[in-house]
A = this chain, B = another copy of it.
């Protein structure tokens, strides 16, 4: 049923990759439209699409246009056969695995979670095997059409080698995760930084489709940013990119764990908010949920902590807009469960610091269901099928 090359990408030729990517992210598209958009001849599009149709990944919709009267081949749009193949995506956190099964269009078909009592690599792999088995052997008959697993981990991840170089929350260093997870699950595994994985999902299947540039900012324990510029994810020549959390926005602000001072994350990360809320309220046992409840109940001292945090995030987002000018910016993450406390201050900070026409950059500020992280991992796995 599958081609021999189980782990290779489907589309080896650049034209085939371009056609598959375009139909997957923006389809259905006719061959004429594809040829025009991709700068290919019609013959090249037809040749590139043929094996993808033969393998069942693409199919032809009923013809809707003819190139000209009597011109022969009708221009049937090409569409993706979404259930041709399924993909598991898993977000690994220090205390839980969150998993999804997605189809080829990154629509979520099933979800599952498993608590982790121990974030050691061995324990995570054991639970990962159980999670994947549960997802694939449950209702839906996904097992027979699933070959690939995407994993998302916070920290420094080398997508090319599948290695987790450093994950502070998991206390992992230099873990060859893709190889180990492949042994455990029998699947072809991709590993990506969680923010970059979410960005990939938005770029191919969300608000970033068709944008030459966009940014995704995540707010929570860490404050991160995925960037697409000139049509491609920015990965950073020295392995660092999108570190909006460590932009300095307040020269007399608090010290940050990174060694810097007044970083966005040192003011607006979850821990920073808790610390400031404890100081201001004089209640050293306060949790983030307590802080949110107090602010919502009208506590001005704790409300000011969220206001300062929102303003710092807004300044950081303005720095992104001023420097790279994305077409749009999505602001999300688990921290935005308290988004009623943040949103106005994020927007005000952004509008104050956005330079000139940069203020026209639309901000989408919205909470992020935790399964979205796992869907991001699946999206990277889908990309690995499509792009070599």
Contact = CB atoms under 8 A, between A and B. Distances in A.
Q: Which of A212, A232, A248 has the most CB of B within 10 A?
A: A248
A325 B260 contact: no
A139 interface: no
Contact of A358 (B240, B249, B253, B326): B240
Given A229-B234, A230-B231, A352-B259, A319 B241 contact: no
Interface in A218-273: 225, 227, 229-232, 234-244, 246-253, 258-263
Contacts of A242: 323
A361 interface: yes
B352 A237 contact: no
A321 interface: yes
List the number of copies, as a whole number.
2
Interface string A287-331: 000000000000000000000000110010011111111111000
Interface in A47-88: none
| Majority DSSP secondary structure for residues of A touching B | loop
Q: How large is the interface on A (under 10, 10 to 19, 20 to 34, 35 or more residues)?
A: 35 or more
Interface of A: 14, 39, 156, 211-213, 225, 227, 229-232, 234-244, 246-253, 258-263, 311-312, 315, 318-328, 352-353, 355-358, 360-361
Given A236-B325, A323-B324, 10 more contacts: A235-B325, A236-B358, A240-B321, A248-B249, A249-B251, A250-B252, A251-B315, A260-B355, A323-B323, A324-B324
